[in-house]
Amino acid sequence: MRKIIATEFYTLDGLMSDPKDEMEWVLNIFNEEIGRYEDDVYDRIDTLLLGRITYKIFEGYWPQALDNPSTPEGEIELAKKINNADKIVFSKTLQDVAWKNSKIIRQINPKEIMKIKKEKGKDLLIVGSASIVQQLTNFGLIDEYHLLLHPVVLGTGKALFKNIDNRKTLKLTGSKKFSNGVVGLFYE
């Protein structure tokens, strides 16, 4: 069965975005090692599961990235993978999606998600999208959590696990110390 992986950049105070979604605390220390992690995880998947906000950020960046001369060389392959992947956006309000291979699902229905997991294909990846992580965590549908803990405290922002119904104990499967001070925590 296909796995659902959640990859999340987050902070020592449990936040996955600053109030303006600017993510400069990620970009400031982003390096090749983190890039390699991303390349590896995107190699495993063929579908992205996104919330509306993350989808809009991606839609505003990745489709143009291939034609944009300022796109870093190391990002070209990633841009191809992301553009070619299927994108499923969970949103009650989004009117339509212009990006190729994208579709909207209005509501998270665990049966429907299970159906997708049973389809043929590579794994599925959630990026950011805290509300999707929380809802799928509540349904017990996430198979792997890749939590990249950044050495920063933001104070205010969106909490990664804010609306989980119950506490969730996970199994630590590995950890990785990145040279820029990020610690990758890998759970199932």
Partner 1 sequence: MRKLKLQTQVSIDGFMATPEGKLDWLTWDWDDGLKKYVNELTEPVDCILLGRNIAGGFIDAWASRVKNTEDPDIWFSRKMVETQKIVFTKTLQNAEWENTKLANGDIVEEVNQLKKQTGQDIIAYGGANFVSSLITNGLIDEYNLFINPTAIGKGMTIFSNLKEKFNLKLVQSKAFGCGIVMNKYVPL
Binding site for partner 1 (CB under 8 A): 11-14, 18, 25, 137, 147, 149, 151-155, 159-164, 167-172, 174-175, 177, 181-183, 185, 187
Tell me the closest approach of the beta carbon of residue 177 to partner 1, in angstroms. 4
Beta strands in 20-117 (DSSP E): 45-51, 86-90, 102-105
113 vs 147, which CB is nearer to partner 1? 147
Tell me the closest approach of the beta carbon of residue 178 to partner 1, in angstroms. 9
Structure tokens at 149: 């803990």
Residue 186 CB contacts under 8 Å (≥ 6 apart), including other chains: 144, 145, 146, 147, 172, 173, 174, 175, 176
Tell me the closest approach of the beta carbon of residue 165 to partner 1, in angstroms. 8
89 vs 133, which CB is nearer to partner 1? 133
18 vs 123, which CB is nearer to partner 1? 18
58 vs 178, which CB is nearer to partner 1? 178
Return the DSSP state at 29: T
Tell me the closest approach of the beta carbon of residue 148 to partner 1, in angstroms. 12
Residue type, 153: V
Tell me the closest approach of the beta carbon of residue 119 to partner 1, in angstroms. 28
Structure tokens at 82: 């992301």
> Which residue in 186, 159, 182, 183 sits closest to 170, CA to CA?
186
> Which residue in 99, 92, 102 sits closest to 132, CA to CA?
92
82 vs 152, which CB is nearer to partner 1? 152
Q: How far apart are CA 53 and CA 175, in angstroms?
A: 28
